[in-house]
């Protein structure tokens, strides 16, 4: 019932009184319960979550990463590589630079003969090890030590103790030592099944699938708690790296990042051990 | 974390810097880390600045700028991918140094040459928790 107010100037007093009484009467039907409850659930409804997600999906100038992640969570989508704020890496130098600099014959491949003094380095860059460097050597989407799918991948990553993508003599020797129950000097099928029984389980219990069954509300709480990642964005590519001065583990000194400027390239390897 | 327990790694969350330091020591010993390890303050400020939780890789080039920004961990944590970029950066530094030496240009040249000599990387591991 729409209430309209009439300016009194042109109206007669009697008409105004009539209108006023009508308004009061009409208003009686619009009374809202005093405590403000409309009787619906006090959790965010799926419909509201959907509206919120749509707002977050609009084109923003410089949309922060938390907005992308929150949108994914509100949609109830499972998290994993290439969802929400989990994206591919960025680097200012890659295939394009290599091709420009070294692909002399323009065949979209940099081979050993074109490598000048960098031949040894090329072997390390050659991801698929086919003897030549091409654009596909720069595609790392298929690599995930977090959630390897195939049993052979799972075994490989558990062998690759230093995570350098290679299993060498040393790591095989470590494997022998670690798996050898009773220090026999050799391994039996039992030693193997003891160590790798996890991989013998049927594929349906993969970690990503169990993660999917996590309650969406719990995920949201984890998100706001910072447990899925920082709510900040981190420096942009080519921006000045945020400086820090932190205690060193093996000496009484501290190390300041900016002290390396002009002197060394620095790799920052962030991790935790709990 | 079940993965950690299976590997025989189990720590309570450190409540102060000394405890975090201890965890970091055990981590470095266990993983036989040869690179310098630094420890974030308890307010995790550096991790915040780099949006680095739970793990993440960056490369800072000789101009102090972010040259590689790894995807957020755990999914984006790819050491071999980082290594590839690192190698390219080191090649770039050498290539540039040769070029400027060839031109006989001055001034900037010194900075670049110095960079080439110590064009090795310094991996700095920042530990939290």
Domain count, chain A: 4
Question: B79: domain range?
Answer: 51-123
pLDDT digits (tens, 9 = 90+) for A150-172: 777 778 878 887 666 678 898 88
pLDDT computed for residue B111 by the predictor: 38
Question: What values do phi and psi take at A272, rounded to 5?
Answer: -140, 160
- Whole-number average pLDDT of chain A: 80
Q: What is the dihedral of CA A147, A150, A151, A156, to 10 degrees?
A: -70
Long-range contacts, stretch A33-41, CB < 8 angstroms, 24+ apart: none
What pLDDT, on the 0 to 100 scale, is given for residue B1? Answer: 45
Predicted confidence at residue A214, as pLDDT, reads 67
A154–chain B nearest CA distance, Å: 13
B42 assigned to some structural domain: no
Pick from A19-33, A102-116, A229-243, B65-79: least confident = A19-33
Residue A225, domain member (yes or no): no
The token pair at A126 is 């050659």
Residue-averaged pLDDT of chain B: 81
Q: Is the pLDDT at A218 greater than 80, yes or no?
A: yes
**Torsion sign (Cα): A240, A268, A258, B22:** positive
> Which residues of chain B neighbour A226 with C-beta distances below 8 Å?
53
Chain center to CA of A34: 45
User: B71 in a domain, yes or no?
Assistant: yes
Q: Is B118 within a domain? A: yes
Domains identified in chain B, total number: 1
Report the chain A residue with the minimal C-alpha distance to residue B89.
A93
Least confident of A43-57, B19-33, B100-114: B100-114
CA distance A87 to A72: 13
Higher-confidence residue of A238 and A76: namely A238
Chain B, 9 to 48: residues with Cβ < 8 Å from chain A are: 9, 11-14, 21, 23-28, 31, 35-41, 45-48
Measured on CA atoms in the order B54, B57, B61, B65, is the torsion positive or negative? negative
Question: B41 to chain A: nearest residue by CA?
Answer: A246
pLDDT of residue B118: 37
A243 contacts A258 by C-beta, under 8 angstroms: yes
Q: How confident is the model over A67-75, as a mean pLDDT?
A: 92
At A18, list the tokens.
Answer: 């009539």
A102 and A70 within one domain: no
Quote ipTM for the complex: 0.82
Least-confidence region, from A52-56, B3-7, B15-19: B3-7
Closest-CA residue of A relative to B69 is A90
- Average pLDDT of span A8-25: 48
Of A98, A124, A263, nearest to B115 by CB-CB distance is A263
In a domain, residue B18? The reply is no
Of A185, A203, A221, the residue that ends a domain is: A203
More confident residue, B68 or A42: B68
Residues of B in contact with A143 (CB under 8 A): 78, 80-81
Residues B38, A255: C-beta atoms closer than 8 Å: yes
pLDDT at A26 over 50: no
The boundaries of the domain holding residue A27 are 1-32
DSSP class per residue in B14-32: P-SHHHHHHHHHHHHHHTT
Task: Kindly report, residue by residue over B54-88, the tens digit of the pLDDT.
Answer: 999 999 999 999 999 999 989 999 988 999 999 99
């Amino acid at each position: 019932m729409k209430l309209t107010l009439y300016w009194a100037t042109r109206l007669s007093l009697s008409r105004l009184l009539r209108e006023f009484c009508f308004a009061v009467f009409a208003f009686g039907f619009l009374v809202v319960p005093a405590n403000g409850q409309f009787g619906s659930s006090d959790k965010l409804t799926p419909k509201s979550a959907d509206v919120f997600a749509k707002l977050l999906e609009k084109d923003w100038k410089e949309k922060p990463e938390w907005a992308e992640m929150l949108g994914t969570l509100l949609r109830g989508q499972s998290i994993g590589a290439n969802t929400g704020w989990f994206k591919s890496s960025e680097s200012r130098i890659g295939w394009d630079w290599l091709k420009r600099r070294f692909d002399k014959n323009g065949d979209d491949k940099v081979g050993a003969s074109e490598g000048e003094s960098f031949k040894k380095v090329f072997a390390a860059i050659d991801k698929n090890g086919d003897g030549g460097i091409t654009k596909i050597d720069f595609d790392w989407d298929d690599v995930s030590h977090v959630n390897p799918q195939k049993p052979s991948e799972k075994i490989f990553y558990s062998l690759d103790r230093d995570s350098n993508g290679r299993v060498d003599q040393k790591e095989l020797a470590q494997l022998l030592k670690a798996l050898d129950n009773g220090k026999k000097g050799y391994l039996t099928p039992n030693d193997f099944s003891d160590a790798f029984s996890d991989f013998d389980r049927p594929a349906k219990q993969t970690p990503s699938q169990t993660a999917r069954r996590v309650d969406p509300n719990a995920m949201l709480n984890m998100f706001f708690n910072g447990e899925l990642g920082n709510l900040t964005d981190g420096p942009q590519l080519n921006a000045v790296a945020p400086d820090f001065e932190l205690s060193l583990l093996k000496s009484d000194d501290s190390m300041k990042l900016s002290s390396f400027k002009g002197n060394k390239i620095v790799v920052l390897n962030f991790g935790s051990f709990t | 974390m079940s993965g950690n327990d299976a590997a025989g790694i189990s720590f309570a969350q450190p409540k102060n810097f000394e405890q975090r330091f201890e965890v970091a020591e055990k981590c470095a010993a266990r993983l036989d880390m040869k690179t310098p390890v630094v420890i974030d303050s308890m307010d995790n400020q550096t991790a915040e600045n780099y949006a680095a939780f739970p793990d993440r890789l960056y490369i800072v080039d000789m101009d102090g700028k972010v040259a590689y920004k790894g995807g957020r961990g755990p999914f984006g944590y790819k050491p071999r991918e980082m290594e590839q970029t690192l190698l390219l950066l080191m090649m770039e530094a050498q290539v540039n140094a040769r070029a400027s030496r060839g031109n006989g240009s001055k001034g900037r040249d010194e900075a670049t040459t110095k960079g080439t000599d110590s064009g090795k990387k310094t991996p700095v591991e920042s530990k939290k928790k």
